[in-house]
Amino acid sequence: MLQNVAVALLDGVNPFELGVVCEVFGIDRSDDGLPVYDFAVASAEGPTLNAHGVGFTVSTPYGLERLEEADLIAVPAGQGFVERDYPAELLDALRRAVDRGARVLSVCSGVFVLGAAGLLDGRRCAVHWRHAEELARQYPRAIVEPDVLYVDEDPVITSAGTAAGIDACLHLVRKEQGPAVANAIARRMVVPPHRDGGQAQYVQRPLPRSRCDTVGEVLVWMDEHLDEEMTVDRLAARAHMSPRTFARRFQQETGTTPYRWILGQRVLLAQRLLEATDETMDAIASRTGFGAAAALRHQFVRSLGTTPQAYRRTFRGPQDDPRAA
């Protein structure tokens, strides 16, 4: 059942992430025949809290007691949530909620609160890609999924950065009240009811740097010749090593194999070309060393969870299409 929804607030809450939950569950859309949720914002740290970075405060008459009756407790992100102490009363309330069958949902760094409550142990979870390593370090029993927009490990639902909270909230609505309701809410919000791909397509991937100079010059050459066929034998010859020694040194210095390094850089180059040019898929496939558009699409989907066409639409949009006029 999804009827009673509460948001647990901490000082320094991010306004957008709070707004995401308020927009999905706190707006009366009964004029469209949509469900109305019993919605409230509850503070874990006093009646008035600071919103991060915007110079205003958030006040609410509700304290943690409001969480006891909620079917869903949402925890939005906030400044400093990655490393801070959380009120023990809040962590206890979250654990009690799960024990009695309620759901908890985090947006971005709100997942660290769930981790502190012990609710991530043995569960898959999502977080903004910038925080994925830190989440795994702090909570080694959690199974961090760095490339997805959200994870539903009922009764614990976690989402990645910022707008991924919309995806998670709409997913829960779809699950509990059907696609028609979720689609109608998304239409009112002017957002897609379901986005293609995961957050892997949004991760910044700079050129991996070697920890020493043994294969450094070869890395530069590889990056400049991604459209060419590369074999370990050819690369080893450039490094003046045997293929076996080169492969071992490459793994030691980059943390990956030559094949995987080349593949990652070819996908990265394809991303840049899709964002900045009008080149066809065949032309991009040729420039990136994939050869054919079908091979480009296959590797792009495997790496980023979305197609090259969908990626271009997401990061360029119709305004960059000369036909849009």
Nearest-5° angle of CA 213, CA 217, CA 218? 115
Are 238 and 151 in the same domain? no
- Read off the tokens for 300: 């792009």
Residues 51 and 13 in one domain: yes
Q: Note whether 146 and 266 are same-domain residues.
A: no
The residues with which 13 forms a beta bridge, in sequence order, are 51, 78
Residue ending a domain, choose from 198, 232, 248: 198
Q: Does residue 295 belong to any structural domain of this protein? A: yes
Question: Which of 153, 171, 198 is a domain's end point?
Answer: 198
Count CB-CB contacts under 10 A for residue 309: 14
Q: Give the pLDDT of residue 170.
A: 93
Supply the CATH number for residue 22's domain: 3.40.50.880
Say if residues 42 and 69 touch (Cβ distance below 8 Å). Answer: no
Residues 190 and 223 in one domain: no
Q: For residue 87, give the nearest of 56, 46, 47 by alpha carbon.
A: 46
pLDDT along the chain (325 residues), means of 10: 96 95 96 96 93 90 97 95 94 98 97 98 94 95 91 95 91 90 90 70 54 75 91 93 92 86 90 88 95 95 89 67 39
Residue 203 lies in a domain: no
The domain tally of the chain equals: 2
Q: What confidence score (pLDDT) does residue 183 get?
A: 85
Residues 134 and 127 sit within 8 Å (Cβ to Cβ): no
| 196 in Cβ contact with 306 (< 8 Å) | yes
- Looking at residue 201, what is its pLDDT? 59
- Give the span between the Cα atoms of 57 and 51, in whole angstroms: 5
- β-partners of residue 240 are none
Domain limits for position 150: 4-198
Verify that 66 and 99 share a domain, yes or no: yes
CA–CA separation, 189 vs 23, rounded Å? 8
Residue 53 has a pLDDT of 82
Is the residue at 206 inside a domain? no
Residues 15 and 78 in one domain: yes
Pairing of strands 156-159, 150-153: antiparallel
Confidence (pLDDT) at 313: 84
* Judgement on whether residues 42 and 142 belong to the same structural domain of the protein: yes
Label residue 162 exposed, middle or buried (CB < 10 Å: 0-12, 13-18, 19+).
Answer: middle
In three-state secondary structure terms, 269 is: helix
Which phi-psi region, left, alpha or beta, contains residue 152 (left: φ > 0; alpha: ψ -120 to 50)?
A: beta
Tell me the sheet residues that pair with 158: 106, 151
pTM comes to 0.67
Whether 236 is covered by a domain: the verdict is: yes
Nearest to 132 by CA among 104, 118, 116, 112: 112
Q: Are strands 150-153 and 57-59 parallel, antiparallel or unpaired?
A: unpaired
Same domain, 148 and 220: no
* Residue owning tokens 């308020």: 22
Distance between CA atoms of 107 and 33, rounded to whole angstroms? Answer: 27
In angstroms, the CA 52 to CA 42 distance is 17
pLDDT confidence of residue 205: 55
28 and 149 assigned to the same domain = yes
User: Is residue 311 situated within a structural domain?
Assistant: yes
pLDDT value for 194: 72
Helix (H) or strand (E) holding 4: strand 4-9
Q: Provide the CATH number for the domain around residue 238.
A: 1.10.10.60
Residue type, 171: H
User: Is there a single domain that holds both residue 27 and residue 86?
Assistant: yes
Tell me the C-alpha distance between 135 and 128, whole Å: 10
Q: Pick from 147, 164, 198: which residue ends a domain?
A: 198
Assigned domain for 127 exists: yes
Same domain, residue pair 167 and 236: no
Tell me, yes or no, whether 185 lies in a domain. Answer: yes
Distance (Å, whole) CA 105 – CA 159: 8
One domain, residues 173 and 279: no
205 inside domain: no
